[in-house]
Structure 1
């Protein structure tokens, strides 16, 4: 019941409060959203920043580590594991399922969806603005994802990834 209360509070009010870096009110906005996250997510570490406009569904299966954030207007799935010290830019979209399209005798809209796939973001990751992460992807420790990248596959730890589709630019 408490989870539902904080979920309503977040989506009805605190989701629209100013960004965390907004003068004066930002600090309070960040704190209010953090209190909501602590009561909504399955696990919420210390100093977590859920930014203005972030969408995470019912949030029941979200794990987020210490000093991590969900970016402004980001859309993250209910079943995601976000490590510690993760920076997420604005407008990041993380997907957990796709449309089925294998049959040609039935319109794609009537074929339904694939099963939900778990997305994992490791520790010490930086995800740039407007990144799209396709279902089932894992971003490993120390990785940087450049702004606008589309992740269609996984990369080794300490990678710098960019482009559409995402390609290894270099290692750190």
Structure 2
């Protein structure tokens, strides 16, 4: 190989490295103005990988931990609503593809051939554990808890606690009276679930299910810590 060819090959290799680094940086370290919407006080830890940030919407009082991976096409929305916390290593994948004769999988997803996708919505006050996978069809209901390592591909009812692969309901977050008190603190009157809605929810999903949360009154010290946390996170009060 001539000296000129060696120089040309080095230039090509360096260009490839720069191209890959640029692609990595663009996908893993994303400025807020590239998202569809990010609330000013949303806490997003980097690196946070997103394929199509313009289709991702993150509301106020949310916390997104390190290593989140959103693999979405521009037409696939991901909506994360207020009060929600998402643990490290979670993957959100609203797209799926049907195997197609004559098209290798290398090209299938990149070319968006026979896509089967659904928007993924995480409603208010959800807690998503570490290394969870949310697939097309996942819709997390208000106040639900998703255990670490869970794979979710179907709707999760409000205030359900789900575990496993695939997901299954093992508990309810609170009892009905506690949910009513909880929502009085977090939501305007017109946003709250009614007792009738909660009774129907419990009859359908939570018969004989244990309660995950607690209604133990907070101490003065705990109330002070809550107030301090609100101040440094610039918490947006509901009303």
Q: Match for 1:47 among 41, 44, 47?
A: 41
Q: Is the 8 A contact 1:46 1:67 kept in 2?
A: no
Q: Which has the higher contact order (CA 8 A, sep 6+)?
A: 1
Unpaired segments ≥5 residues, structure 1: 1-7, 16-32
1:48 Cα offset (Å): 0.8
Query: SS of the residue aligned with 2:47?
Result: coil
Provide the residue aligned with 1:60 in structure 2.
54
CA distance in 2, matches of 1:89, 1:168: 19
RMSD: 2.6
Q: Is the 8 A contact 2:82 2:123 kept in 1?
A: yes
CA distance in 2, matches of 1:153, 1:108: 28
1:70 Cα offset (Å): 2.5
Residues 113, 75 of structure 1: CA spacing in aligned structure 2 closer, same or farther, 3 A cutoff? Answer: farther
Normalised to the residue count of structure 2, the TM-score between the two structures is 0.53
**Greater helix fraction, Structure 1 or Structure 2:** 2
Structure number, greater radius of gyration: 2
Q: Is the 8 A contact 1:81 1:119 kept in 2?
A: yes
Provide the residue aligned with 2:25 in structure 1.
11
Q: Does 1:134 align with 2:135?
A: yes
Query: SS of the residue aligned with 1:52?
Result: coil
C-alpha deviations, 1:74-123, integer Å up to 9, x for none? 1123621110011111110011111313x6x6576376442432100001
Q: Is the 8 A contact 1:51 1:70 kept in 2?
A: yes
Q: Does 1:155 align with 2:149?
A: no
Q: Is the 8 A contact 2:90 2:133 kept in 1?
A: yes
Would you say how many aligned residue pairs link Structure 1 and Structure 2? 142
Q: Does 1:99 align with 2:97?
A: yes
Query: SS of the residue aligned with 1:60?
Result: helix
Provide the residue aligned with 2:223 in structure 1.
none
CA distance in 2, matches of 1:92, 1:129: 6
C-alpha deviations, 1:10-33, integer Å up to 9, x for none? 936x83xxxxxxxxxxxxxxxxx7
Query: SS of the residue aligned with 2:155?
Result: coil
Query: SS of the residue aligned with 1:81?
Result: strand
Provide the residue aligned with 1:85 in structure 2.
83
CA distance in 2, matches of 1:152, 1:117: 10
